[in-house]
């Protein structure tokens, strides 16, 4: 499965990159230890951050700038990392969904990168990050039809399935043993991706019994192998 960033998107926002982890996992309820770590992190962030601080986190600020460059309001369509941190600061916390979603969210709120995790069995062919065209939409997770027009959006041979604000139902992770890709959406050039991908891998292996993780960073037409462990 190859990943690309479209020429149009590269021209509109040159600092776009993707961090991709590929692994096999049993998607299930999180262990008490993982939930304890997540809830501890949420509590610490709530005490440390204000709403004003969130917009100045480097990775979130970069994503906001990318949205503006692509013609999407970052205020009406907040990226997932920002939206989760705003929930946390307001005292609303995060829902407990599954071990993979919890790891996804834990890395997202601590790094500032929006992250999507997708079931490979529901994807087809190569994957390209495009600027979604006028009028584009898909069925979001728990949201019905989602307006994805002009968002940086992942497309496979079937169509759109994920972006930094809201993912589609088609590729969402489901309980059971599955091949999964987790994608870190980076609009800061991706220079800090490797650290957070290593953390993602460590959490998967510690709390989700994942044995092997393959990770790569994509910038433009370049692929940089990070690790296979």
Segment 60-115, tens digit of pLDDT: 999 999 999 999 999 889 999 999 999 999 999 999 999 999 999 999 999 999 99
Predicted TM-score of the model (pTM): 0.95
Which residue, 196, 201, 121, is CA-closest to 161? 121
Tokens standing for residue 26: 């049993």
Q: In the predicted model, is pLDDT for residue 228 greater than 80?
A: no
Which residue, 71, 78, 66, 91, is CA-closest to 14? 66
Q: Domain 3-228 belongs to what architecture?
A: 3-Layer(bba) Sandwich (3.50)
């Amino acid at each position: 499965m190859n990943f690309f960033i479209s020429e149009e998107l590269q021209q509109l926002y040159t600092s776009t990159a993707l961090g991709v982890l590929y692994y096999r996992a049993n998607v299930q309820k999180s262990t008490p230890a993982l939930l304890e770590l997540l809830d501890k992190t949420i509590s610490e962030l709530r005490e440390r951050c204000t709403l004003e601080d969130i917009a100045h986190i480097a990775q979130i600020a970069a994503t906001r700038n990318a949205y503006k460059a692509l013609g999407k309001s970052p205020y009406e369509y907040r990226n997932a990392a920002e939206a989760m941190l705003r929930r946390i600061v307001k005292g609303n916390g995060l829902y407990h969904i599954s071990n993979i979603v919890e790891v996804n969210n834990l890395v997202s709120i601590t790094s500032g990168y929006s992250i999507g995790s997708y079931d490979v069995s529901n994807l087809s062919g190569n994957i390209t990050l495009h600027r979604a065209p006028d009028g584009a939409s898909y069925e979001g997770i728990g949201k019905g039809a989602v307006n994805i027009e002009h968002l940086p959006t992942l497309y496979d041979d079937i169509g759109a399935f994920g972006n930094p604000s809201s993912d589609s139902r088609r590729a969402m992770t489901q309980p059971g043993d599955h091949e999964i890709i987790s994608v870190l959406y980076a609009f800061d050039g991706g220079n800090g991706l490797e650290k957070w991908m290593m953390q993602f891998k460590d959490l998967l292996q510690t709390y989700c019994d994942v044995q092997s993780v393959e990770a790569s960073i994509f910038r433009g037409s370049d692929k940089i192998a990070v690790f296979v462990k």
